[in-house]
Amino acid sequence: MSQIIPLALGNPRQPFIVLSGPSFAVELMEKLPTAMVVASKDKKLASAVQQLLASSNLRISTSSDVTGVEIAGALKNVLAIAAGIVEGMHLGNNCMAALVAQGCSEIRWLATKMGAKPTTLSGLSGSGDIMLTCFVNLSRNRNVGLRLGSGEKLGEILDSMNQVAEGVSTAGAVIALAQKYNVKLPVLTAVARIIDNELTPKRAVMELMNLPQVEEV
């Protein structure tokens, strides 16, 4: 779950905070143990929000890396769609592990080009949020991917949902960001092309598996 909280609407010079991390609202409501990150360029503000929200059931870490928290929080939803597609196509655990590992690398490549800190991407708002969103059935984005992988049409899936799967709209920005920052994002851009009906899930798997063999980075 990611939330951007503006503190003074209409004044771009006013600070704002981003609250993100591996958390489903239903478990927060049930007071189950949860950890999240609050990010702001204003360290005093982040600390104040930390003290306000922290409880015996909720740990809040602070970060000044707003870019890293925001990018990881947005792109993990696109990756979750990919993970759901793998599940829906019954491609197995090996494929799931490889896909999510590749997706994590792609998020890191793009986010660091945009100024994010690598440590943010391996923390709660990065790896933590990715694991939750990609592997748990409560994830809306994962379920969209699962249904796409099972052969359903995107329009039918969205019409049947009463909640928003953010990765669907976020996917549209992936290709533009990849071009702007000159980063190759094969998994994330494949999701964008599937969402745009330019590529079928089956064809996407074939294209990804036929990419040149490279050194891991």
pLDDT digits (tens, 9 = 90+) for 16-43: 889 998 999 999 999 999 999 999 999 9
Which of these, 110, 29, 34, lies nearest to 76 by C-alpha position? 110
Per-residue model confidence (pLDDT) at position 5: 45
Higher per-residue confidence, 10 vs 73: 73
φ and ψ at residue 3, rounded to 5 degrees? -135, 130
Contact yes or no for 167/148 (Cβ under 8 A): no
pLDDT at 9: 45
Confidence of residue 216 (pLDDT cuts 50, 70, 90): confident
Angstrom distance (rounded) from CA 209 to CA 36? 35
**Measured distance between the N- and C-terminal CA atoms of the chain, rounded to whole angstroms:** 28
Mapped onto helix, strand or coil, the DSSP state of residue 120 is helix
Pairwise CA distance, residues 64 & 15, whole Å: 12
Catalytic residue IDs: 76
Q: Given a cut of 80, is residue 193 above it in pLDDT?
A: yes
Q: What is the pLDDT of residue 11?
A: 61
DSSP code at position 127: I
Crossing angle between the packed helical segments 186-195 and 166-180, to the nearest 10 degrees: 130
The beta strand positions in the chain, using DSSP E, are 2-6, 16-20, 34-39, 58-63
Question: How are beta strands 34-39 and 58-63 bridged, if at all?
Answer: parallel
CA gap 82, 52 in Å, rounded = 36
Structure tokens at 81: 């769609």
Question: CB–CB of 49/17 below 8 Å?
Answer: yes
Six token digits for residue 196: 């745009």
The values of phi and psi at residue 108, to 5°, are: -65, -45
- Decide: 72 and 107 in contact? Cβ < 8 Å: yes
Q: Backbone dihedral region of 136: left (phi > 0), alpha (psi from -120 to 50 degrees) or beta?
A: beta
Residue 6 has pLDDT above 90, yes or no: no
Angle between helices 140-149 and 66-88 (to 10 degrees): 30
Residue 17 backbone class (left: φ over 0; alpha: ψ -120 to 50; beta: rest): beta
Q: Which domains does the chain carry?
A: 3-63 (no CATH), 66-210 (1.10.1040.10)
What is the model's pLDDT at position 1? 60
